[in-house]
Amino acid sequence: MTRPAGEPGPVAGQPRPVLEMRAITKTFSGVTALSDVHLAVRPGEIHAVCGENGAGKSTLMKVLSGVHPHGSYEGEVRFEGEPVAFKDIRAGERHGIVIIHQELALVPQLSIAENIFLGNERRSARGTVDWNGTYREAIRLLARVGLREKPQTPVSELGVGRQQLVEIAKALSKEVKLLILDEPTAALNDQDSAHLLELLLQLRDQGVAGIVISHKLNEIRAIADSVTILRDGRTVETLTVRHSPSAAPELSEERLIRGMVGRDLDHRFPDRTPYRGEDAGRIALAVDGWTVRHPADHRRTVVDGVSLTVRRGEIVGIAGLMGAGRTELAMSVFGRSYGQYVAGTVAVGGREVDTRTVPAAIAAGLAYVTEDRKRYGLNLLDTVQRNISLASLPGMRRSDAGRRNGVRGFVDEHRERRIAEHYRTSLNIKTPTVAERVGRLSGGNQQKVVLSRWIHTDPQVLILDEPTRGIDVGAKYEIYTVIDALAARGKAVLLLSSELPELLGMCDRIYTMAEGRLTGEVTRAEATQEVLMRHMTLRQMTENGS
């Protein structure tokens, strides 16, 4: 059934909520992030919270878990029927409310057991750490989440999927009653995602209620018992599925999208405007025989003899399974930022160029938007203005006259601000001011800041590595519009993506990779998900004799 926005009330035949958030309002520096938001979670259910980037999902969860303490927001939080006022995250955990953020809070140098009980150590009668008891309890918790690692294993040796399971084991050690997960599968492959979702269903059946924030609408439909949709910091509606089978057909992707963005997205991808310049069709980027070895194991080749081209005004995709070598190819071409170069050439506009360093690659007309914007793409502590200007600082220098007149500093901050304001408007970056710290922006708006930086360098070739990872459908459409506009201006775009529908919807041609090699090239007319998947597994199938 569907309940309208407003305070949720009891529904006949359903247990009373274990959690109620009533009329929650939260502001930052005069900007309203949440306005009169209501949320109710019932015992033993998985409740999904979805909405566009900037809708207020993470802020609402930080209010609930005590990250934003009582007194910093308006409204009431009730847990197990009683009002609660958490002053910090530990207060929330003492009640059994545990949040797992998208950026995992693990210490890589410590063991699994040490991470599970960090700040919650098992102590002996003498007051020292009871290591035997710690390891026994860690083994029990790891078995509960389906992780077979030894508790003494350093977390740094685990992949992201297994680290996520360690976080859940850590939550279970605190006798969790309500588990909150913020984009739990954003960085996981399909296998790890499926395992995690199955674990959440098992915990639900064991009585642990869950709140899941996710942009992956197919996952929401697979595991959620109820869904609350937020838009612009307000509750739009709550859809109940588990207790009302007749509501299940309503929970289509189209239905969720309409609630999230306030309109139907009949077309997930914008209409292409072809480039009509005199040089349309000329090759802008040519990579020939590119070979790179692993940075630590020089015997292992991670990019093996790759040759490809991208023409002016063309969007060319690269598809591949995890470990295929797509990112390694992009990073090594752009300033040899990854691995040990072995062989190969790069030509831009028909002329072989030097890309041995990042500045040389930029000067040659290349730009690279990394798949990990928070680690490699942004300085989260600096402003939107500074992040946009970082790749173009030589062009931001003050005039000689300004320096002679005693003006301090080398960067013309007025020009830098004008440029940042231009991109804030043209790319619709949602921020109160370009002086805002970029770490406060939503994922989609952070990605627009990264794009703004590289667009301002006026590159001939733009390499985009997972440009829409972790952002919602509305923000994706805006990013797609930007990409199409660049191609319409004659820029050559190389698009790396793990989302096959994205490649099919955006690209003129698609290359496929497997184990560091190109395994196919497919035109837009020939491309289907089945064709791409066949090429993406071609080398493995051949080597297995299939």
Question: How is the chain split into domains, by residue range?
Answer: 2-96+177-261, 108-175, 268-365+459-546, 380-458
- pLDDT given for residue 371 in this prediction: 82
- Is the pLDDT higher at 5 or at 471? 471
DSSP state of 377: I
- Is the pLDDT higher at 283 or at 125? 283
Q: pLDDT per residue over 413-451, tens digit each?
A: 888 899 999 989 888 888 889 999 988 887 788 888 988
Q: Does domain 268-365+459-546 have CATH number 3.30.565.10?
A: no
Q: Does domain 2-96+177-261 have CATH number 3.40.50.2300?
A: no
pTM: 0.63
Predicted confidence (pLDDT) at residue 357 exceeds the cutoff of 90: yes
* Confidence band, pLDDT 50/70/90 cuts, at residue 185: confident
Asked if the domains at 2-96+177-261 and 268-365+459-546 fall in one CATH topology, the answer is yes
213 φψ region: left (φ > 0), alpha (ψ -120 to 50), beta (else): beta
Report the distance separating Cα 530 and Cα 169, nearest Å: 37
Strands (E), 370-458: none
Mean pLDDT value across residues 9-35: 80
The DSSP code sequence of 452-490 is: HHHHHT--SEEEEESTTTT--HHHHHHHHHHHHHHHHTT
Is the CB of residue 33 less than 8 Å from the CB of residue 62? no
Alpha-carbon torsion angle 25, 27, 31, 33, nearest 10: -50
Q: What is the mean pLDDT of the chain?
A: 86
- pLDDT given for residue 8 in this prediction: 45
* Confidence band, pLDDT 50/70/90 cuts, at residue 505: very high
* Confidence band, pLDDT 50/70/90 cuts, at residue 243: very low
Predicted confidence (pLDDT) at residue 364 exceeds the cutoff of 70: yes
Report the distance separating Cα 486 and Cα 509, nearest Å: 17
Please, what is the angle between helix 131-144 and helix 160-172, to 10°?
Answer: 110
Single out the residue of 185, 43, 227 nearest to residue 100, CA to CA. 185
Helix (H) or strand (E) holding 198: helix 190-205
Q: pLDDT per residue over 117-148, tens digit each?
A: 998 888 888 889 899 999 999 999 999 888 88
3-class secondary-structure state, position 367: strand
Burial grade of 48 (CB within 10 A; 0-12, 13-18, 19 or more): buried
